[in-house]
Structure 1
Amino acid sequence: MSPSTATSILASTAGLDQHDKFGYWQDVVCRALVDLECSPVSGRTFEASVEGSRLDGLSVARIEASAHRVERRSSAISRASDESLIFNFVLSGVAMAQQDGRSVVLKAGDGAVCDAQRPYSLRFDDTFQIITIKLARSAITHRAGSIHRITARSLGESSQVCPILFGYLVSFSRQVSILAPAASEKVARNFTELLAAALDEVIQASPPPLSEYRAAALMRARDFVERHLDVCELDTSMVSNALNLSPRYINKLFEAENTSLTRYIWRRRLERAAVDLRDPDRAGLSVSAIAMAHGFNDLSHFSRAFRQRFDFSPRAYRASGAVSAVSGPSPA
């Protein structure tokens, strides 16, 4: 069988009326790559572009866009005719991925995988550039059963291969559309093997899967935390009493996720606060008001924890979002 020719993916909102741009991105791009529901960030102009290629079992797309959010819903999953894994590697900006009760904040040089057979979401609160890979699940059949253990986890934190993969990917995404069919097929095969090696590392470093009962208990604990993040008194004792589980058992559940309940609560509060700091609808709220709304009653502690998490003070983080909202994406 002769090698297949790469099919180009090329689209941009440039030149469209501002009122039509997001609808175009939703219909032509989001659903063409992966069937996703997109939602804009209110009060901001929107610009986006994508360039990439499709090969048999593999699509690679370089995306630059303004802030927005995407969601893989059950309705889209039921329409899907194939089984795919979606990898997102951040070139610039920040992304948050959520799946299987986990969330991860990704910065430049890092990436995460999501399983397109289950709901997931991605959020970009500012202008960003990413490389998105859609890989047929059949390409890594012997690893597919363990993918649920590493969805919405940082690949960069657990894999020594990931930095090599990232550099290869940046070059691959630029060259794949101009390679001859035989060359592009060979490069794609080598890339898939490198990606599989990175997955092996992350799977081996991930905690062993919980039993069905323990997984359900962990999900209940996370759900309770999400619904009570604005309560200052939220702690292990409160969760324990509400779920009728011992504090020791709850902490064991979170230890299996390489964290603790306390750290999980702080992380989710900081992530929620970060979203509000760049939300135009909350521009009139002070930093202290946003901190208190998310369960922080000590502004200095909030500021220190926020800087440690996002490398910016809360005020600088808010200001950088405002500047990006005015200037829009930088030219490709």
Structure 2
Amino acid sequence: MRFAADHRHVETARGREFAGLARTLFGNVRLDFGGADEEKSAMLSAMLGACRLTRLEADRHVVFGERAAAAPDDPDAIKLILQTEGSASITQGGLHAPVSINALVIYDPCRPYVLTNSTPVRQLLLQLPRQALPQAAVERLAAPFTAHAEHDGMCRILLSLMESTIYEIGHLDAARRSSVGQTMIDLVRTMIGEGPAGQVVNPLDLLLSRIKDFITRNIDRPDLTVAMIARRMGCSVRYIYRAFEAERLTPAGYIWDLRLQRAATKLREADGHSGEISGIAFALGFSSSAHFSRAFRARYAVSPSQWRKAALS
């Protein structure tokens, strides 16, 4: 089934519908719940441009990817699993790899595999187009590739991005979904050996892009602090500061400068009387009109009211 209105891009299934949607979205799979309770299963899935991100939870079960090549109607995608709860393992190419919490496992579903979920599980699954990866990287996926967040900064960023995106999926427009999907592709390419156009991607650059996007979308929130941003990005406060170092900025400095830019835009559209100017200041997180006036004058060399008058002249 699908959500209505602005959730049309999201697909969901529960219970007995779970296995059917899994075959539709993932292609060459067969699910065996054995004596487990299939009714406990739930899935939510959405397209992110060329990628698909899926959240699923289910009782213990086994997934068989039995065909060595995809059928004509199957999605031609590389898969990535993030385990958030439970215990699982994947066997492919003669190798056995655990699917552990806070680790990513990347594999080629066109090669036969068995994914054993030995306990009830919660997982995030990312599918990205095969052609989005270098051929050499795809060839290396004859066996599963594993990365751990505690050892790999790139993995930690991708893990956080997947979790935050699925949380916000109902509120993202098509352009934002596509942008997030491309960022995920870039991260995966870099993790398995090659960034976009053969370039090495700096994980801090990708993190900074995510931070700036998050700040832009939440600039009106009075609780927009570095600590809150770090929680949403899934990293430490120190890592947030490191992301801004290359631009010789602090996170707080970036936030306040963006708020002043937003205020300048709003003032051009305002009547300019003191009440409305104060309203703009408080709406953008300034503690007082005096605080706003001092910061605005330091940034633009004129007062907010003078700025408004100049815009009208």
- Please tell me the TM-score bracket, short chain as reference: 0.5 to 0.7
The two structures, once aligned, show a CA RMSD in angstroms of 2.5
Q: Equivalents in 1 of 2:75, 2:23: separation in Å?
A: 16
1:197 aligns with 2:199: no
Cα distance, 1:82 vs. partner? 4.4
Cα distance, 1:126 vs. partner? 0.9
Cα distance, 1:176 vs. partner? 3.0
Q: Equivalents in 1 of 2:80, 2:152: separation in Å?
A: 15
- 1:155 maps to a residue whose letter is A
Structure 1 residue ranges without an equivalent (≥5): 14-20, 202-332
Look up the match of 2:91.
98
Q: Which of 93, 113, 121 is equivalent to 2:114?
A: 121
Cα distance, 1:133 vs. partner? 0.8
Q: Equivalents in 2 of 1:76, 1:178: separation in Å?
A: 36
Q: Equivalents in 2 of 1:155, 1:40: separation in Å?
A: 28
Cα distance, 1:179 vs. partner? 0.7
Cα distance, 1:137 vs. partner? 0.6
Look up the match of 2:55.
62
Residue deviations 1:68-108, cap 9 Å, x none? 01111118723445421011110111111111111111221
**1:172-187 matched pairs, under 5 angstroms:** 172-187=165-180
Q: Which of 131, 145, 156 is equivalent to 2:148?
A: 156
Cα distance, 1:181 vs. partner? 1.3
Residue deviations 1:219-267, cap 9 Å, x none? xxxxxxxxxxxxxxxxxxxxxxxxxxxxxxxxxxxxxxxxxxxxxxxxx
1:42 aligns with 2:38: no
Residue deviations 1:115-170, cap 9 Å, x none? 12211121101111000111101111354444325x32422187441122111211
Q: Equivalents in 1 of 2:167, 2:156: separation in Å?
A: 17
* CA distance 1:191–1:177, shift in 2 (3 Å): farther
**1:172-251 matched pairs, under 5 angstroms:** 172-200=165-193
Q: Equivalents in 2 of 1:192, 1:111: separation in Å?
A: 14
* CA distance 1:6–1:189, shift in 2 (3 Å): farther
Look up the match of 1:10.
12
User: Partner of 1:70: helix, strand, or coil?
Assistant: strand
Larger of the two Rg values belongs to structure: 2
User: Partner of 1:197: helix, strand, or coil?
Assistant: helix
* CA distance 1:193–1:121, shift in 2 (3 Å): same
- 1:119 maps to a residue whose letter is P
Residue deviations 1:40-74, cap 9 Å, x none? 13265641101120134210001111000111111
Number of corresponding residues:
187
Look up the match of 2:19.
26
Structure 1 consecutive aligned stretches of length 4 or more whose deviation exceeds 6 Å: none
Q: Equivalents in 2 of 1:163, 1:6: separation in Å?
A: 30
Look up the match of 2:205.
none
Structure 2 residue ranges without an equivalent (≥5): 1-6, 195-313
User: Partner of 1:88: helix, strand, or coil?
Assistant: strand
Residue deviations 1:20-53, cap 9 Å, x none? x3xx322233433333101113265641101120
Provide TM-score, normalisation by structure 1: 0.51
Q: Equivalents in 2 of 1:187, 1:162: separation in Å?
A: 15
Q: Equivalents in 1 of 2:73, 2:104: separation in Å?
A: 24
Provide TM-score, normalisation by structure 2: 0.54
User: Partner of 2:188: helix, strand, or coil?
Assistant: helix
Q: Equivalents in 2 of 1:161, 1:189: separation in Å?
A: 15
Look up the match of 1:72.
65
Counterpart contact for 2:68–2:111, Cα < 8 Å: no
